[in-house]
Structure 1
Amino acid sequence: MTTPDEQPVKSSTDHVDAAARRAIDDPSAALALLPGVAASIRQDAAGGLFDAWELSSVVDENTREPVVPEALFHHLHAAAGLDATWPAGNAGLVHVYGYLFSLAETPYGLKRERWLDAGLAAAYGERTLFHAEALIGGAVSVTPLARITDAARALLAEHTVREERIGPVRARIAIGRRSASGPFALAYAIDRGAGERLVTTFPISTPAETLAAIDAGPPRLRWNAVE
């Protein structure tokens, strides 16, 4: 059954799909189809929020293919006032906003599903979906990136389950959930010596299996963090 919180996103699904298709050859037109996203990017840039995020490759580590078109990658970074060299971009910009325009299939489904599905939001204790307001259009009081940044930082502060050293780099992994059931949230951040920055956050269903896979090999940069 559709809940009231899901209505804004469900009513915008066609717009998201259309924007993703348009992003292949016309990034500017694609972003115009989701004006709330464009407004949020401008708001985040003005507040310096992208500084809280690390670099991330848009080449998926499972498929070895880009998850967003190169033209869109450059257009988003220009809109945010950020310099970037393909395929390494700002993780907050690419993951939180760029993934909405991705048509790439991965073993875990479409990248944007984490923002449009209730699972990750519930794991973080969010009452509404992360992108609900931004997809409606117009400026928002708290952007999706701001909400996600705060949520991931809180998870790392309260539920760090692994710390790794990769040469001079320190990495932290946190797993937890605030809901009684459903997926858990995983947050990942690294510190290269100038302060910790976020890399990614996504839902997982079985923390024990995820940790077993992490422990099965040596420490390394994970989840598309750039060397």
Structure 2
Amino acid sequence: MPESAEPQSRTVDDHTPGASGQQLPPSAAAEVDRKHLQTAVTWGRIREDEFAELAQTYLHYQELAELFDAGPAPSPDPDLATWATTILQLESPDLLELLNLDLADEALLDRWGSSTTTEKNGSASVPQALAQLFATRLGSHAGLDYGHAGLNHTYGYLLSPVPTEFGRKRHRWTSQEVAHTLGIPGKWPLSQGPSPQQGMLAEVTAVLESVAPLNRPDAWSSPATATATAHALAMKVLRELPANGESTNGTRWTARTRVLRRADLTAEQASKGDQLLLVYSLSVDAGLERYITAFPVSAAWYAELKDPDENPHLKYNASLGA
């Protein structure tokens, strides 16, 4: 990466007070995150001439994630939903505008199921304040360990500072991992220019519906009019695995795992890095199929993918909800 591609005013190691006046905590993973961005250039997810601009975007969401991780000042009864809204208004009003657009689209929200907000090791995959904001706006209970899978997958993971065994969840958005598997250039799904027509979740859902549609009779279409929805390249479904199971309380579910590869890539070209896309969806008690998550996987991971065993279980943070 040429030295000239480095951001001139700030770097991914800088930490300054945000508009809220709160000092952001130091990032212990700054060097790891920098290397992740550089790897994205090496593997071709990010062009060298895009690095400086994308690094600024990355820095913004890295700092915002750290701010959410730090949380508000201690108080006897903190209103985390209000605090989260205030932070977004001050630090990232454009992101709040996208979130508000998505929250206003009930048909869009119904395309997604439920997912947990914690990892198996107990760490929060979605910041608690953000999870409470989602729950409050959706009219659901704020103290649950699961929530709306679409909001968790997009805004929640974008602002998730907690590392998992598979890396930081926000990398799928901040270093163009998902966009690259789909062949979408630029800062998708976060760059829509002034007066956006739809939110981040709508952008992601519209693309998923074009490459891995849900098996359900009702239709949802993107509300974008003035701004065209991003278009993915043609995709080839490499494998589709169904799974059926039943919870301890008798709730039956059917899951579907699909792994896709861009049609313009050969198997050899797709063998380096995470260039395949996994899409996981779920229906509960013979209800409508809903998306749970979508994320990049490697060819090596795909080679180890096995058929469902005799005791199938929910995967990828899926939840049956209430």
Identify the TM-score tier after normalising by the shorter chain.
0.7 to 0.9
TM-score normalised over the length of structure 1: 0.85
Highest RCO, 1 vs 2 (Cα 8 Å, sep ≥ 6): 1
When residues 52 and 7 of structure 1 are mapped into structure 2, their CA distance, relative to the original with a 3 A threshold, is farther
Report the count of equivalent residues: 222
Larger Rg: 2
Give, as a single letter, the amino acid of the residue that structure 1 aligns with 2:281: A
What residue is the counterpart of 1:196 in the other structure? 289
Distance 1:77 1:139 in 2: 26
* In 2: Cα distance, 1:132 partner to 1:5 partner: 15
Secondary structure, aligned partner of 1:73 = helix
* Equivalence for 1:161: 240
> What does 1:42-191 correspond to in 2, within 5 Å?
42-48=100-106, 49-61=108-120, 63-78=121-136, 80-85=137-142, 86-133=144-191, 139-157=195-213, 159=237, 161-167=240-246, 168-178=252-262, 180=265, 181=270, 182=273, 183-191=275-283
Is the partner of 1:177 in helix, strand or coil? strand
- AA matched with 2:302: A
Per-residue deviation at 1:218? 2.8
Which string of whole-angstrom CA distances, capped at 9 and with x for unpartnered residues, describes residues 174-219 of structure 1? 111215235111000011122110000111012534513x545632
Aligned with 1:211 (options 305, 313, 319): 305
Distance 1:7 1:84 in 2: 41
Superposition RMSD in Å: 2.5
Is 1:11 aligned with 2:56?
Answer: yes
Identity %: 24
How far is 1:173 from its partner? Answer: 0.7
Higher helix share: 1
Residues 54 and 92 in structure 1, CA contact (< 8 A), matched pair in contact too: yes
What stretches of structure 2 of length at least 5 have no aligned partner?
Answer: 2-45, 73-82, 214-235, 247-251
Letter in 1 for 2:206: D
Deviations 1:7-48 (A, max 9, x none): 543222222122112212242343232222211111112222
Hey, what's the Cα distance between the residues in 1 that align with 2:183 and 2:132?
33
